[in-house]
Chain A
């Protein structure tokens, strides 16, 4: 197991470096950064001066090394737009996004997994149909539309929840539901399909032949095997929520990192964009790594591969 973890960790670090290089080079892909910084009316001399000032004239690898070294110490440079250190700018926004992401994925897992299990235990029952309906509805309904409906009903009509902002836990209720509901259908269907398959397997019959109670058969013997693909999916979705909840953050005016990324792209605020891309990618890498470790713990066959 330890060997497996070390191997995966090595791989994750390798991927992290590659990704950091790619996110760094993105700067140059979008054209001359100095020209972009200087604006349309700037003269050639101004651009050259800026190029020197920001070090864009040095070889790219040197710039990358420099940037990475600072980034590892938590220094992502200064935002062109806010004229503030990118690190502190992001830290503040990231806490909102992370809270939302954790709440969102928890909501998704806590509704999708029990529903998927219940649907698999009784296929074609009422609960299976309800689960199917929720999943189809979740897939068909765009997040922004669902968010607006919630605002109209619970904030405007009933006045139970605040429509926007991030100051209390009540501000997070609707965003959590919208974000979580987005991830729920896929998790639920994968849980249901996995459970159905596992419940038909020979080792479940063996467990019953031993006289194991149904609850033990379902949860100890079946769910542990059925949940393995769900872990990988949830990790990807968690990464997505931490990086891509731009729509939800916009509807509910939760000024998180996703919203910041969106704004910064519009403002050509390259250091901020770079840092955010790097951080979002790191989330994916970390969650994939954690999912691999969790799966290896769940399924001993993975440890040897």
Chain B
């Protein structure tokens, strides 16, 4: 296989907080090939957004990011200068955020904000940038695109704003797009529509995508790979087929529990809920973070958890099969 577009090894993110250090992300690994869709799933607060921001180099100054490796097409992002990161952001990697209502600058027109990245990164005229903006607005399904360029964000609905955000992220034709719950803040009736639009565009333009979403139906349909995140760790990663057909880690199985049959996930079905609360990630953490909620927990779960990997399907649990019970076993 060719070198991955993005390769992350042992990424950790620490945040200084009042009572010590919050170990928000701990030692995660993942690879993303060109044109591939990786979906990161997990409950709120598991560190999905921090992971995306870490790749983009957008973490706040006070946040400490460490990684053995974080390569984007041969560029080592852990060592890249700020200038280098700037030249990648918006040009070769883009991000779509969760909050369309506040992610656009209220003081500038849609046109100004759409063309900004293109004018910053490419040597194009204003007219060419404008044409490209109109083209992309049409692509994301906005009618009378040319006249929208002069409008301000407050004149658009949430759905339209998120379409604009998508168009904006695509302006320079990036190789990687990170979509962090791009539809969570939207009206349920249009969530599926916008997500499908995004996925279709990513396929059409042959981009790689990290898609963070709670919509397991979409994950099942579009993801090539799935990474399951719990309390700052990736507890299970694998191809979408492996994760949906043979979920192994007890947490993954809990998330997918509400789904009737593997591979038959209906669109709109969301993550299952698991009783119990996530432990505090402040201070030293040892053992499996899921043990407070895991029905299979044993004494060994307090110690080092082995990392088990077979054919690219990885999970971390003391039980060799994640203690899958008979009726949960793959068909």
Contact = CB atoms under 8 A, between A and B. Distances in A.
Interface of A: 201-203, 205-213, 221, 224-225, 298-301, 304
Interface in B52-89: 56, 58, 85-89
Interface stretch (B9-17, B98-106, B136-144): B98-106
A199 B273 CA distance: 35
Given A209-B58, A210-B89, A211-B90, A202 B103 contact: yes
A228 to B, nearest CB: 9
Given A203-B105, A203-B106, A206-B97, A211 B117 contact: yes
B120 interface: yes
B94 A213 contact: no
B298 interface: no
B154 A301 contact: yes
A302 to B, nearest CB: 10
A301 B101 CA distance: 14
Contact of A210 (B85, B106, B117): B117
Interface size band for B:
20 to 34
* Candidate in B56, B106, B120, B154 with the most chain A CB atoms within 10 angstroms: B106
21 contacts: A202-B97, A203-B105, A203-B106, A206-B97, A206-B103, A209-B90, A210-B89, A210-B120, A211-B85, A211-B87, A211-B88, A211-B89, A211-B90, A211-B120, A212-B90, A299-B107, A300-B106, A300-B107, A301-B106, A301-B154, A304-B154
Given A202-B97, A202-B99, A300-B154, A210 B105 contact: no
A221 B152 CA distance: 14
B58 A298 contact: no
Contacts of A221: 105
B103 A212 contact: no
A128 to B, nearest CB: 14
Given A209-B94, A211-B87, 5 more contacts: A201-B102, A206-B97, A206-B165, A207-B105, A299-B107
B91 interface: yes
B90 A205 contact: no
Interface in B103-120: 103-107, 116-117, 120
A280 to B, nearest CB: 33
A119 B89 CA distance: 27
A205 B89 contact: no
Contacts of B104: 203, 206
Contacts of B99: 202
Contacts of A208: 58, 89
A301 B58 contact: no
Contacts of A203: 102-106
Contacts of A205: 58, 97, 103
Contacts of A212: 86, 90, 116, 120
A235 to B, nearest CB: 19
A202 B102 CA distance: 6
A212 B82 CA distance: 11
Contacts of B117: 210-211
Contacts of B89: 208-211
B58 A211 contact: no
B95 interface: yes
A210 B112 CA distance: 13
B121 interface: yes
B52 to A, nearest CB: 10
A156 B269 CA distance: 82
Nearest to A122: B61
Given A225-B107, A299-B107, A210 B102 contact: no
Contacts of B85: 211
Q: Which 8 A-B pairs have the closest CB atoms?
A: A211-B90, A210-B90, A211-B89, A202-B102, A210-B117, A203-B105, A300-B152, A202-B103
Contact of B116 (A210, A299, A304): A210
A165 to B, nearest CB: 45
Contacts of B152: 300-301
A299 B109 CA distance: 11
Nearest to A225: B107
Nearest to B121: A211
Q: Which of B86, B88, B107, B121 has the most CB of A within 10 A?
A: B107
A225 B105 CA distance: 9
A299 B152 CA distance: 10
B169 to A, nearest CB: 8
